[in-house]
Structure 1
Amino acid sequence: MRVGVVILPQQRWAEAAATWRRAEELGFDHAWTYDHLSWRSLRDEPWFATVPTLVAAATVTSTIGLGTWVASPNYRHPVPFAKELMSLDDISGGRFVLGVGSGGAGFDATVLGHEALSPRDRARRFEDFVTLLDLLLRQPATTWRGHHYAAHEARMVPGGPSSPRLPFAVAANGPRGMALAARLGDGWVTTGPPREKGDDGPDALEHWWRGVGQMCARFDRARDAAGRRRGEPRRYLSVDVGRYALASLDVFLDTYERAHALGFTDVVTHWPRPDGVYAGEESVLEAVADRLPGLR
């Protein structure tokens, strides 16, 4: 099972470059950054743009996978975004994975001045977003129209090095999203069920893991309905919802084993921050990295 780490885009690049290099040196399989304009409790803290950050990360690394955790349609159109993704695929030498979701209901949902969509409309927009991105990145010219997006003779030349297109890791917890992930995804991403704020007891943790297991069973059914083979697509678990996996080495190892038992192929944690959300010690991250060769 592969292990990845999310690096929040909060540092100026003069400092952040060393963090991305360090993720590769430590042996993590993939490194990601959030695709938000601002995020939750960090809304008024430094926050840099996603695509330039990943382009820069691609130029200071050579082997680690890179990706968006996860790209949002809240403020993106598939046509210009596909051109950026094609370029990222090229600059990274085929190391880029598009993590993509339906777009949250937080600050980013209304930052352009429009009303937040209903859950039903968000799901329909998500289907349009992924469907059109899939078409754009597979062929040199695309004309298509959906409910929320359209393209007219959109050119994607010369295309990226990944064939037939760069991988999609589709984030989905609900049935429509899971069906989309099973149909077009090279990976399925889940955060498991949400946890109530302040609900940190052992019973709540067990409840979260049971919910993750139930989601796996639902995705099995979506995979079968889509005619995909067992083992397809890859399964990514964002493990820091149940509890912060880097609270200690023992916590991480327990988290890893639970995810492995449920059939996940990849787990993703967050680079420790000095305080607040994902607060932790880099020494724990290093201890996890030391164990990676034996875990694979």
Structure 2
Amino acid sequence: MVAVGVVLLPQDRWSRAKDRWRQAEEWGFDHAWTYDHLAWRTLADGPWFATVPLLAAAAAVTERIALGTFVASPNFRHPVPFAKDVLGLDDVAGGRFLLGLGAGGEGFDASVTGPAWSRGERTRRYEEFVVLLDRLLTQPATEFTGEFYEAHDARMIPGTIARPRTPFVMAAAGPRTMSLAARYGQGWVTYGPSFDSEGVDDDPHAAQERWWAGLADVSDQMDAAEAAAERDGSTLPRLRRYLSLDGAPVFSLTSLDLALEGVERAAGLGFTDVVVHWPRPDGIYAGSESVLEGLAERLPALQAMPVAQR
């Protein structure tokens, strides 16, 4: 069965945004997400609200839909106070919160609080961030001293409603982070392969096909990481696999046909969950909300679609 989610960027004042979060639930989407950034790419000079209060507000006006970060990173967060935020979001959401996690990129967030870290340091911080968050969210008090982070008698009482803790949906694009996701994640999320966008406007179909071919390779790499994690004799459950259809060169909601094709192809590659972005009036993710509404009308059929076994 395929689960379908939608990302709502944190750009609108709550007086307007609350209706969209409610609408996502009423339409039947399985999960709804927002970015966890201080500002983002071409939208850095526009409105951009904080993630945690937004998700808490969304949790308070919804009842069923899962809610999550797409994705949080160590770029500007410390595991101890962030674990408290996660504990609070889990509580307000009644256990519906999904913690999307990633290593962080090289954009605005990477340097706004100080000099940007090297790629190697970001990866090591991500590893330690995940390990410490896992401990914080699974025990009432934590002692930890690592390369980057410390926690001394860090209390997380009464613990999360979700058991054994809030699910981790982990971004991973290379062997080291895929191994981390296989060991600590309940889900893996990807935007698919990255490549030079030159020629996309001239031949968007060819660019799309190139992306899908690369995505199949990335999925194979995650298969290998999961298999390696099982070799230690553990019985880790299979990860749910989340695909942002908007990692592709062409915005998924350019047309309803393209969106439906994307969900079907994702399921054929073993993705249990697909995510699209709520269309914006211009710029990145520009499109018509009528296409999103059309996708919502097809949700029952999509959610009944079988997922290929990997």
Q: TM-score over 0.5 for the alignment?
A: yes
Distance in 2 separating the partners of 1:166 and 1:119? 27
Deviation at 1:231, TM superposition (A): 6.7
Aligned residue in 2 for 1:235: 241
Match of 1:53 in 2: 54
Q: Secondary structure at the match of 1:240?
A: helix
Q: By how many angstroms is 1:139 displaced?
A: 0.4
Q: TM-score, normalized by length of structure 2?
A: 0.93
Amino acid at match of 2:8: I
Residue 88 in structure 1 maps to residue 89 in structure 2: yes
Cα distance in structure 2, aligned partners of 1:18 and 1:197: 35
> Is 2:104 the partner of 1:103?
yes
Q: 2:205 aligns with which of 202, 210, 223?
A: 202
Distance 1:284 1:125 in 2: 39
Sort the Cα spacing of 1:166 and 1:231 in 2 relative to 1 into closer, same or farther, 3 A.
Answer: closer
Answer yes or no: is 1:224 the counterpart of 2:227.
yes
Higher mean C-alpha displacement, 223-232 vs 99-108: 223-232
CA–CA distance in 2 between the matches of 1:289 and 1:234? Answer: 22
Cα offset, 1:229, TM superposition: 6.1
AA at the equivalent of 2:116: A
5+ residue gaps, structure 2, are: 304-310
State whether structure 2 residue 290 is matched by structure 1 residue 290: no
User: Residue 143 of structure 1 aligns to a residue in which SS?
Assistant: strand
Length, aligned pairs only: 295
Identity of aligned residues (%): 59
Counterparts of 1:257-268 in structure 2, within 5 Å, are 257-268=264-275
Deviation at 1:230, TM superposition (A): 8.8
Take 2:89 and 2:28, find their aligned partners in 1: how far apart are those partners? 22
Task: State TM-score, norm by structure 1.
Answer: 0.97
Task: For residues 106-149 of structure 1, give each alpha carbon's deviation from its aligned partner in whole angstroms, at most 9, with x where no partner exists.
Answer: 01000012x21111111100000011000000000000122111
Contact 1:235 1:264 in 2 (8 A): yes
Q: Does 1:186 align with 2:193?
A: no
Consecutive unaligned residues in structure 1, runs of 5 or more:
none
Moved more, 133-142 or 187-196: 187-196
Deviations 1:82-125 (A, max 9, x none): 00100100100000000000011101000012x21111111100
Aligned to 2:41: 40
- Taking the aligned partners of 2:242 and 2:71, their CA distance within structure 1 comes to 12
SS where residue 127 of structure 1 aligns? helix
* DSSP 3-state at the match of 1:54: helix
Q: Deviations over 1:53-102 (max 9, x none)?
A: 00000001010000000002101000000001001001000000000000
Q: Aligned residue for 1:145?
A: 145
